[in-house]
Structure 1
Amino acid sequence: MLPRYPRWRWPKPRLALLLTLLLPLGAPAATLATARPADSTAAPVLADTLRPRPAAAPAPADSGAQRRARRTDYAVAPGVSWHYERPRPFQWLYHIPRDVAEMPGYAFQKKNVPLLAGIAGSSAVLFLFDQVIIDGVQRGGRGLGITAEDKQRNLFRLPFHIGSVNLPIEYNAPDNFNTSLYFLGDGWTHLTIATSFFAYGLIGRDNRALQTSSQLGEAILTTGLATQLLKHLTGRESPNVSTQARGKWDLLPNYNDYQHAVPAHDAFPTGHLATAMATVTVIADNYPEYRFIRPVGYGLMTILGAAMLNNGVHWASDYPLGIALGYGFAKIAVAHGRTRVGPATGLARPKPWYRRAQPSPFVYGPFTGATLAWHW
């Protein structure tokens, strides 16, 4: 019997490096670079961990065309490129607890002190003039022939209960001009936008569109949870049911009282403008090369805010905190949904996690500077 010798095992790091170096001998060199659009002028980039990407399977000889490659990298400005992975199913749903937990740390930073002071100060000033503002807007609406009546037509309603809580699924369509403006902030409007991005990304194999859809769902739901919590804590009367100037505050209202008289308790903060701000921020951050997104989005939000004052749903002082919540949750969702990539510098051993901070130039339209991206 022949003697048995111990089997030689390559250490894992050396084996990975050897495979990485040998791969160009049997596969196209492009498999080492991050995929990019054919019309992009940005330089090819390497993945942070230098994982070789398998070549796409060749199409059958009789197919007549290669399958369209999935888009993952996008050059949005000189020196600025973002990489988007395809989101996993329902990723937006199970990221919500993470986003809610991160919000306090994101908001209450030293650099945000002036911003937080501005939110508090503007809310206080608007509160002092709430009654004057809403009376003036409603007089202007009547002068333009815009009725303040909130008139809707129910298209469908599905009863849904969780224990004793009644949560029907329904869709009400606007039935006059002012209500149509109010529906700019309706949940169905934003759900339609998110679904449109999902359909485009699925059909066009576009990871940025798919991630935008996922981030919209994530930001809209977290924003909704935060605003609903604050509404149940503050219990402020809406203008159209107010019993005193600037509305009565019923802190920590009884749950049953809240459910039986929602407009008497749910004014502060605004959920419609919070959701609209989250939608505009997610889309604008993922598509910064389209500079019209923010002006158009903010213009529509201004119209929505005026419509809600006109029909007596909100006070002006309900707006600053709601807008800030939508912006913050959108920023958190976007930050987790993409990674910054830079020019390729050749093959190198992967850096340990504590050395993966990557300084990069920052150019977005008229703004220039530098950012520090940390890749895990």
Structure 2
Amino acid sequence: MLSIFYGRAYPFKRLLLTLSTSLSLASAAMAAPATPPDSTQQAPEATLPLPTPVAADTLPAVETSASALPADSSARPRRARKTDYQVAPGVTWHYEKPKPFRWLLHVPRDLVQYPGYAFRKENTKAIVGIGLSSVALWVADQVLLDWAQDFGRAINLEAKSTQKTLVYIPFKVGDINLPLEFNVPDNLNSTFYYIGDGWTHLGTAAGFMAYGIIKKDNRAAQTASQLGESILSTGIVVQAIKRSTGRQSPFVATKPRGEWHLFPSFTQYQSRVPNFDAYPTGHMATAMATVTVIADNYPEYKFVRPLGYGLIGLLGYSMLNNGVHWASDYPLGIALGYGFAKIAVRHGRTRVEAPAEPGTGFVPRRPQPWHQRIQYAPFNYGPYTGVSCSYSW
């Protein structure tokens, strides 16, 4: 460190100044590159000014602009994934990025949780409504079926549910035929019926997944996972009930409202499926699951439920018109799809708590009931004593 003193220089201080200057010049000479000696030039006698040392933590940070960096694609910032979505004032949902096909592992959990979710005390009215509506529709099944088919003939709506096969891959497990086929409808009634086809809902899920991957949108990706989860869970339960109740479909019914063959054997069921698979409807169940998952994840889009329920209504009519289902097959199927969709959505997102009011440090309280807003306080003002009553709006 170089110290400079003003005024009279004492011999001791002059000696320190000379030593410091010599050491600094020697250090500069060692750091400088070696140059060939030149006899015609002489080193100047004047001493160089020495820089004042500065602490490392006081040095200003050097900012490098993006234009100064080399053009390298790996150095470009990546688009951040979108995880939080505000769907209403004070309502924000957080979505994690789903792992590929992890939803398959959630299906057993959903099957176990469904009874506890469905048969809660607050669902008593809904359960009673499903039961009563199923009984009422069963009484009127034949009348409703005949009316739907008469109306279809009146408007020249073909009752057949015919489809054109685009892809057919034969596959057998023992004596059971389980081909992989992809069909498309070839008339208007079949188009309505195709709304409930599994390919329709799998295609919808694939669209959400593609959008989530391309746009880094976690909500869309989670919606796709929840669709697969709820549809598969619903399908398992629907098939179990179908194979237990064994109700005839209308177009093969041997008596009004069809016959019930409880617990048909596996061979009987596979050999004559329409004789046993009417109750409940799987098409309505999967359609309801799809609409519920999308509507719950995108509540800001108010048109989803009306549009979805309208399409479900067309699906319901088409299945009466082509004689695939009875009207009483619908309530339970709709309830199953709705319940499994709710479970899948509940596990696929988390609620983000509202931030505290600025400057208070307290989270805003929920509005209290009107009878709890009345506050009483005693007072004593001079000769007057009493109780004050206040009400906060």
Further displaced range: 145-154 or 282-291: 145-154
Equivalent-residue separation in structure 1 for 2:342 and 2:155 (angstroms): 37
Q: Does 1:255 align with 2:255?
A: no
* Residue of structure 1 in register with 2:158 after alignment: 147
- Spell out the pairing of 1:355-370 with structure 2 (5 A cutoff): none
CA deviation after TM superposition for structure 1 residue 76, in Å = 0.3
Structure 1 equivalent of residue 221 of structure 2: 210
Rounded Cα–Cα distance in structure 2 between residues aligned with 1:335 and 1:360:
24
- 2:223 is aligned with 1:219: no
CA deviation string 1:78-115 (max 9, x = no partner): 11000000011111111100000000000111111110
Contact 1:79 1:361 in 2 (8 A): no
Q: Does 1:110 align with 2:105?
A: no
Match of 1:311 in 2: 322
Structure 2: which amino acid aligns with 1:249? W
**1:244–1:359 Cα change, 3 Å:** farther
Distance 1:360 1:137, change over 3 A: farther
Counterpart selection for 1:194 from 200, 205, 208: 205
Distance of aligned partners of 1:359 and 1:202 in 2 relative to their CA distance in 1, 3 Å threshold: farther
How many angstroms apart in 2 are the aligned matches of 1:359 and 1:228? 48
In structure 2, the partner of 1:33 is none
**Conserved? CA contact 1:201–1:208, under 8 Å:** yes
Report the equivalent of 1:14. none
**1:71 lines up with 2:97 in the alignment:** no
Residues 100 and 222 of structure 1 are in contact (CA less than 8 Å); yes or no, is this contact kept in structure 2?
yes
Question: Aligned residues: percent identity?
Answer: 60
After TM superposition, give the deviation of residue 163 of structure 1 in Å.
Answer: 4.3
| SS of the residue 1:95 aligns to | helix
Give the conservation status (yes or no) of the 8 Å contact 2:91–2:354. Answer: no
**Which letter does structure 1 place at the counterpart of 2:211?**
Y
What residue in structure 2 maps to residue 47 of structure 1? Answer: none
Shift of 1:344: 3.6
Change (3 A) 1:360 1:327: farther
How far 1:343 moved relative to its partner? 3.0
The alignment status of 1:284 with 2:295, answered yes or no, reads yes
Alpha-carbon distance in structure 1 between the residues aligned to 2:233 and 2:138 = 26
Number of aligned residues:
293
Cα distance in 1 between the residues matched to 2:150 and 2:364? 54
Partner SS state of residue 289, structure 1: coil
Which residue pairs with 2:350 in the alignment? 339
Q: 1:359 to 1:186 in 2, by over 3 A?
A: farther
The 5 A counterparts of 1:23-102 are 62-63=72-73, 66-102=77-113
> Which shifted more, 91-100 or 152-161?
152-161
Residue by residue over 1:305-357, the C-alpha shift from the partner in whole angstroms, topping out at 9 and shown as x without a partner, is 000000000000000000000000000000000000023459xxxxxxxxxxx
1:179/1:97 CA distance change after superposition, 3 Å: same
CA–CA distance in structure 2, aligned partners of residues 182 and 361 of structure 1: 46
Partner of 2:239: 228
Could you tell me which runs of 5 or more consecutive residues in structure 2 were left unpaired when the two chains were aligned: 1-68, 358-362, 368-393
Partner amino acid, structure 1, of 2:216: R
Q: Quote the Cα distance in structure 1 between the aligned partners of 2:254 and 2:267.
A: 20
Matched, 1:238 2:255: no
Please list every run of 5 or more consecutive structure 1 residues that lacks an aligned counterpart in the other structure.
1-58, 347-357, 363-376
Question: 1:60 offset after TM fit, Å?
Answer: 7.5
Query: Could you list the per-position Cα deviations for residues 114-152 of structure 1 after superposition, in whole angstroms to 9, with x for gaps in the alignment?
Result: 100000000000000000000000000000001111211
Counterpart in the other structure of 1:127: 138
CA shift digits 1:158-206 (9 cap, x unpaired): 1223444332111121121111110000000000000000000000000
1:167 and 2:167 aligned? no
Could you tell me how far 1:289 is from its partner in structure 2?
A: 0.3
Cα distance change of structure 1 residues 67 and 235 upon mapping to structure 2, 3 Å threshold: same
Highest Rg: 1 or 2?
2
CA-based RMSD: 2.0
Using the size of structure 2 for normalisation, the TM-score is 0.72
